[in-house]
Amino acid sequence: MDESGAVVGRVAGVENYGAGDILEIAPLGGGPTQLTPFREPFVGEVDLAARRVVVRPPDYEAGEDEAQDA
């Protein structure tokens, strides 16, 4: 779920390619999975008992715009 409480998908896997853990999130509506770094600021609360993770996915488009302005 995101910070507003909206369910965005389910965790399909946790990967590690050598630079830290990455959550693979399968979107509710289908489509390709989304990879999100499993660390702050991208992941907030993790509640194992409730099987819930609050994610703040990276905004790659905003990041590209900021890089061009620099």
Q: What is the pTM of this model?
A: 0.73
pLDDT at 64: 45
Q: Is omega for the bond preceding 41 within 30 degrees of 0, making it cis?
A: yes
Strands, E, within the chain: which ranges?
9-16, 21-27, 34-37, 43-47, 52-55
pLDDT in tens, 18-69: 999 999 999 998 999 999 999 999 998 999 999 999 998 766 655 544 444 4
According to the model, what pLDDT value does residue 32 have?
A: 93
Which neighbouring-strand residues pair with 24?
A: 13, 35
pLDDT in the model for residue 1: 85
Q: Which two tokens stand for residue 29?
A: 């509506």
